[in-house]
């Protein structure tokens, strides 16, 4: 029995091909992730146009005709926004295990801008249509700058799942250095991270679920209030 | 993203995949010839051989061992058995005495000297041109000498190893070890022999050319894995180590985790100390492929261990982090749990891990398909084998620690 020396060459070629197929699969999934994120962002933009149309109708026609439609759309939107934010972070984490992808940074910026727009619209409509959702703004930074931010997001996700229709939750990434997010931060006097703003009042530092529930219950009766 | 972890994953994946692919190709090309072995021709003069059996407190197994030696199909005048009682405090010597005769000799030492010294004592008394060294808890088949000795017709062969299988695997652990032996101490050694890279002449049974032993010196009494150490010297002296798969000896294995840990601690610590003892082959290779195989093998082990430690750290830090998060939500485990599988959220690490696991399953399945073994191929055995594989990483770590701390490892 003799081993031919080219067995080492064949093995190297097969190994490289296997590595290349893993990379190809990963590239394919990366592009699928990007398509999924872009698709979601387009859906959000469509919804914005719908909200803008309803908002304009509200200004022109007045009254409560459009409020019901608006409330349904807004309720769907805030859930979609939070889920999209979580999804972008998960896809970004999966993609950036091996390399930094500027796509996610860009999408996150767009996403945060959309959130600011949506939040502003919700704020202006809230009084007109007498919406009774409690609005929570969540300001965070990346893990290196804010070790407690992931934990705070975890608590808010948990709460959002439990009382989703009762709250509208917005997350703002302060590392993106967007002028709109910075302005919001200045307006609400965000000095530390993580920080949440509930109905115009600012609460900085990590809060557990009970503490957030206590804060929420100060403003409105929620299903989690005892 | 942790760049060091990513690099480590790539290095371990590439080295292990390359290793597995080389192995599988060699297995594939030689699958029909693995059990072929040279034979004596009618007019060949049969050589004289001495079988050395060191025994320390082997009262439970020595009788079976001697019985199997008596049944060897080889002219009695051409083989002798030298049993060296290594200061046993049980009935070993008495049992051997019952069997001594013309070609079964007992050397009865009152003090325990250790395995290597006992082997050397036996070799120095041996009259054969070939020396078989075996463990006292091993049983040999009757064709063992007729199958192994013809390999020495090739003057470059210095030693012949045989397949080592497990004798009476009673519990689950022993059945897993049986699977491991069928692969590691039989098929893998055969494939290594095709590359002239056999790194060990297993203690249960190996045959040596006496002239070679006289040239390189006998077993190193200071080394706790003397069967591993002598393999390095055989390669350095320019001889080959052949492997014969057409015959197999059966030996006992540890029956519990404690025993297994003690065995592996000795093997792995001994392997590291032997590598250190023969570090010169890393710097100046005069042993052909063996000189590349050893650094490759240990680079794979070291990087694999690094990955194991890193992954374990990441796993536990994730568990602790998630627990700390759940403590903030009154341990509401179900609210954040999502059961919808999102393929897009899967990272590349998983593909590396999955391909590694698939590669191992393929290797084990294909190898078992080729090996002539009666082993039942149950999924539980595969699972146990993989669990054991991860446990060995911990054993390797312990052995590294022992060697670094210069602690003494005993038999």
**Residue in this structure with the two tokens 């084990």, named with its chain if needed:** B364
**pLDDT-based confidence at B283, cuts 50/70/90?**
confident
Q: Which residues of A touch B6 (CB under 8 A)?
A: 97-98
In the structure encoding, which two tokens stand for residue A111, read together?
A: 């996403």
- Would you tell me how many other CB atoms lie within 10 Å of the CB of residue A186? 9
Nearest to A97 among B1, B36, B195 (CB): B1
Query: What letters, b where the CB count within 10 A reaches 16 and e where it falls short, cover B166-184?
Result: bbebeeebbbbbbbbbbbe
**pLDDT-based confidence at A63, cuts 50/70/90?**
low
**pLDDT-based confidence at A127, cuts 50/70/90?**
confident
Instruction: Name the minimum distance, in Å, from the CA of A76 to any CA of chain B.
Output: 20
What pLDDT does residue A86 have? 80
ipTM: 0.87
Nearest to A90 among B22, B30, B345 (CB): B345
**pLDDT-based confidence at B126, cuts 50/70/90?**
very high
Average of per-residue pLDDT across B289-313: 93
pLDDT tens-digit series, residues B132-142: 999 999 999 99
CA gap B236, B96 in Å, rounded: 37
Cross-chain residue pair B344–A36, CB shorter than 8 Å: yes
**pLDDT-based confidence at A80, cuts 50/70/90?**
confident
Average of per-residue pLDDT across B65-79: 95
CB B183 within 8 A of CB B83: no
Cross-chain residue pair B328–A94, CB shorter than 8 Å: no
CA gap B117, B220 in Å, rounded: 8
Q: Which residues of A touch B21 (CB under 8 A)?
A: 10-11, 14-15, 18
What pLDDT does residue B345 have? 84
For the cut 80, the answer to whether the pLDDT of residue A65 exceeds it is no
What pLDDT does residue A208 have? 95
CB B81 within 8 A of CB B105: yes
pLDDT tens-digit series, residues B49-62: 999 999 999 999 99
Highest-pLDDT range among A46-60, A101-115, B38-52, B378-392:
B38-52
Cross-chain residue pair B342–A151, CB shorter than 8 Å: no
DSSP letter, residue B34: T
Lowest mean pLDDT among B70-79, B195-204, B369-378, B399-408: B369-378
> Higher confidence at residue B282 or residue B8?
B8
The B-side interface with A (CB below 8 A) comprises 1, 6, 13-14, 17-18, 21-22, 25-26, 29-30, 33-34, 36, 194-195, 321, 324-325, 327-330, 332, 335-336, 342-349, 351-352, 355
pLDDT tens-digit series, residues B204-223: 999 999 999 999 999 999 99
DSSP string, B317-354: HHHHHHHHHHHHTTT-TTTS------GGG--HHHHHHH
Instruction: Name the minimum distance, in Å, from the CA of A1 to any CA of chain B.
Output: 7
Residue among B328, B332, B341, B355 with most chain A CBs within 10 A, to mutate: B328
Cross-chain residue pair A94–B329, CB shorter than 8 Å: no
What pLDDT does residue B65 have? 96
Average of per-residue pLDDT across B238-253: 95
| Nearest-Cα residue of chain A relative to residue B330 | A209
| Nearest-Cα residue of chain A relative to residue B197 | A3
| Mean residue pLDDT across chain B | 91
Report the percent of chain B where pLDDT is more than 90.
75
What pLDDT does residue B297 have? 93
Q: Which residues of A touch B349 (CB under 8 A)?
A: 97
DSSP string, A139-183: EE--TTT-TTHHHHHHHHHHHHHHHGGGEEEEEEEGGG--HHHHH
Highest-pLDDT range among A99-113, A168-182, B279-293, B297-311:
B297-311
Average of per-residue pLDDT across A211-226: 89
All structural domains of chain A with their residue ranges: 1-131, 132-226
Average of per-residue pLDDT across A57-71: 73
Cross-chain residue pair B195–A3, CB shorter than 8 Å: yes
Lowest mean pLDDT among A138-147, A165-174, B100-109, B371-380: B371-380
Give CATH superfamily name and number for A132-226. Glutaredoxin (3.40.30.10)
> Higher confidence at residue B66 or residue A101?
B66
**pLDDT-based confidence at B1, cuts 50/70/90?**
low
For the cut 70, the answer to whether the pLDDT of residue A96 exceeds it is no
CA gap A185, A139 in Å, rounded: 8
Q: Which residues of A touch B345 (CB under 8 A)?
A: 87, 90-91, 94
Average of per-residue pLDDT across B360-387: 84
Element (H, E) at B245: strand B240-251
What pLDDT does residue A97 have? 62
**pLDDT-based confidence at B378, cuts 50/70/90?**
confident
Nearest to B14 among A7, A19, A23 (CB): A19
What pLDDT does residue A72 have? 73
For the cut 60, the answer to whether the pLDDT of residue A124 exceeds it is yes
> Higher confidence at residue A128 or residue A152?
A152
What pLDDT does residue A140 have? 94
Q: How far is CA B60 from the centre of its chain?
A: 24
Q: Which residues of B touch A162 (CB under 8 A)?
A: 335
**pLDDT-based confidence at B120, cuts 50/70/90?**
very high
DSSP letter, residue A1: -
Cross-chain residue pair B13–A26, CB shorter than 8 Å: no
Residues in chain A, total: 226
Cross-chain residue pair A151–B332, CB shorter than 8 Å: no
**Residue in this structure with the two tokens 């000189």, named with its chain if needed:** B291
DSSP H helical ranges for B195-289: 210-216, 226-236, 257-277, 280-283
DSSP letter, residue B10: H
| Nearest-Cα residue of chain B relative to residue A90 | B345
**pLDDT-based confidence at A66, cuts 50/70/90?**
confident
For the cut 60, the answer to whether the pLDDT of residue B411 exceeds it is no
What pLDDT does residue B395 have? 94
Is the bond leading into A194 cis (omega within 30 degrees of zero)? Answer: yes
For the cut 70, the answer to whether the pLDDT of residue B116 exceeds it is yes
């Amino acid at each position: 029995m003799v081993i031919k020396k080219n067995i080492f060459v064949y093995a190297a070629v097969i190994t490289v091909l296997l590595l290349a197929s893993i990379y190809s699969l990963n590239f394919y999934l990366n592009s699928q992730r990007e398509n999924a994120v872009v698709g979601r962002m387009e859906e959000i933009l469509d919804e914005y146009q719908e909200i803008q149309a309803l908002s304009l109708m509200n200004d022109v026609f007045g009254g409560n005709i459009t409020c019901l439609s608006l409330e349904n759309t807004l309720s769907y939107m805030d859930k979609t926004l939070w889920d999209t934010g979580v999804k972008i972070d998960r896809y970004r984490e999966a993609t950036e295990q091996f390399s930094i992808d500027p796509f996610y940074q860009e999408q996150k910026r767009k996403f945060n801008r959309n959130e600011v727009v949506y939040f502003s619209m919700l704020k202006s409509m809230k009084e007109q249509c007498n919406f009774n959702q409690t609005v929570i703004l969540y300001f965070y930074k990346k893990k290196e700058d804010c070790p407690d931010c992931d934990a705070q997001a975890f608590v808010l996700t948990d709460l959002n799942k439990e009382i989703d229709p009762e709250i509208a939750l917005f997350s703002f990434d302060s590392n993106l250095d967007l002028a709109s997010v910075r302005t919001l931060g200045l307006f609400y006097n965000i000095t530390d991270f993580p920080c949440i703003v509930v109905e115009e009042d600012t609460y900085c530092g990590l809060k557990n679920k009970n503490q957030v529930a206590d804060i929420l219950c100060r403003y409105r009766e929620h299903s989690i209030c005892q | 993203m942790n760049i060091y972890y990513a690099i480590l994953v790539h290095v371990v994946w590439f080295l292990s995949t390359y290793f597995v692919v080389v192995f599988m190709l060699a297995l594939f090309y030689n699958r029909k010839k693995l059990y072929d072995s040279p034979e004596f021709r009618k007019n060949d003069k049969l050589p004289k051989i001495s079988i050395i059996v060191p025994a320390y407190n082997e009262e439970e197994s020595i009788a079976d061992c001697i019985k199997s030696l008596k049944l060897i199909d080889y002219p009695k005048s051409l083989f002798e058995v030298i049993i060296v009682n290594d200061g046993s405090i049980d009935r070993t010597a008495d049992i051997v005495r019952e069997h001594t005769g013309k070609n079964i000799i007992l050397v009865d030492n009152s003090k325990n000297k250790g395995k290597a010294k006992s082997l050397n004592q036996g070799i120095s008394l041996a009259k054969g041109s070939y020396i078989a060294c075996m463990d006292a808890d091993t049983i040999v088949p009757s064709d063992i000498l007729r199958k192994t000795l013809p390999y020495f017709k090739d003057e470059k062969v210095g030693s012949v190893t045989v397949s080592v299988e497990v004798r009476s695997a009673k519990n689950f652990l022993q059945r897993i070890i049986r699977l491991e032996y069928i692969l590691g101490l039989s098929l893998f050694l055969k494939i290594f022999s095709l590359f002239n890279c056999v790194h060990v002449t297993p203690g249960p049974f190996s045959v040596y050319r006496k002239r070679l032993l006289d040239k390189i010196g006998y077993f190193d009494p200071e080394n706790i894995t003397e069967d591993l150490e002598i393999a390095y010297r055989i390669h350095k002296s320019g001889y080959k180590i052949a492997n014969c798969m057409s015959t197999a000896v059966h030996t006992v294995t540890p029956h519990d985790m404690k025993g297994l840990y003690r065995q592996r601690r000795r093997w792995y610590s001994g392997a590291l100390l032997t590598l250190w003892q023969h570090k010169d082959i890393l710097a100046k290779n005069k042993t052909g492929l063996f000189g590349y195989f050893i650094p490759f093998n240990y680079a794979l082990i070291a990087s694999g261990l690094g990955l194991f430690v890193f992954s374990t750290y990441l796993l536990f830090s994730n568990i602790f982090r998630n627990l700390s998060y759940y403590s903030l939500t009154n341990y509401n485990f179900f609210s954040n749990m999502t059961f919808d599988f999102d393929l897009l959220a899967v990272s590349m690490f998983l593909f590396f891990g999955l391909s590694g696991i698939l590669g191992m399953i393929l290797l084990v399945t294909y190898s078992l398909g080729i090996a002539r073994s009666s082993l039942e191929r149950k999924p539980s055995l595969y699972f146990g084998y993989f669990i054991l594989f991860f446990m060995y990483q911990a054993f390797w770590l312990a052995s590294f620690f022992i060697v670094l701390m210069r602690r003494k490892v005993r038999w």
